[in-house]
Amino acid sequence: MFWGLIASFWVGNVLLLLLNLPLIGMWVRLLTVPFRYLFPAALFFVCVGVYSTNNNLFDVAMVTVFGAAGYALIRLRFEPAPLLLGFVLGPMVEENFHRALLLSRGDLSIFVSRPISLGFIAACAWLIALLAVSAARQRKARGGLSSEPAA
C-alpha cells in the first residue's frame, strides 16, 4: 500500500514534467498578465471551486469572510507563521491540557510539581517577559511612550 502511494507520486511527477516542459513559454507569458486582470480571475476560480465542492453559497461566503480576515491580518502586520502554528497546534494543546487535568483530578499544581514542566513554564514566562521588555524598549526608542506629563 505504502509503496503503491510512492509509485503514484513518481508517476504523477513524471507526467507533470512531461506536460509542463512544453508549456514553459505559456507559463512565462502568464506572468505578464496585469494584476488587475489576474486577481479577479483567481477570485472567480476560487469561488467556483469552493461552490462546486458542496453546491453551497455559504461556503463561498465563508471563503470571503476568511479572505477578508486574512487581508486585515496582513494589513495589521500579523505574522502568518505563529498564527498557523497556533491554529494547527491549538487543539492538540487543549486536548492534552484537558487530559492532564483529568489525570490530576483538576489540580493545577501538576504543572509545577514536576521539574520538566516547571522548566518549560519558566522558559515560556521568561521569553514572554523578554519580548515585552524588548517591545517596550523599541517603543521608547521611537518616542512612542513619553514619561513627561502633558502640559
Q: What is the pLDDT of residue 19?
A: 87
Give the DSSP per-residue string, 102-146.
HHTTT-TTHHHHSHHHHHHHHHHHHHHHHHHHHHHHHHHHTT-S-
Q: What is the pLDDT of residue 58?
A: 93
**17, three cell numbers:** 514534467
pLDDT above 90: residue 2: no
pLDDT above 70: residue 7: yes
Whole-number percent of the chain with pLDDT over 70: 95
For residue 145, give the 3-state DSSP assignment. Answer: coil
Q: What is the pLDDT of residue 87?
A: 87
pLDDT per position as a tens digit, 116-133: 888 999 999 999 999 999
Q: Domain ranges for the chain, please list them.
A: 2-106, 109-142
Q: Grade residue 13 by pLDDT with cuts at 50, 70 and 90.
A: very high
Average pLDDT, the chain: 87
Whole-number percent of the chain with pLDDT over 90: 34
Instruction: Of 89, 119, 91, 117, give the one whose Cα is nearest residue 104.
Output: 117
pLDDT per position as a tens digit, 62-115: 999 998 998 898 899 888 888 888 889 999 989 998 998 898 888 888 888 888
Q: What is the pLDDT of residue 115?
A: 87
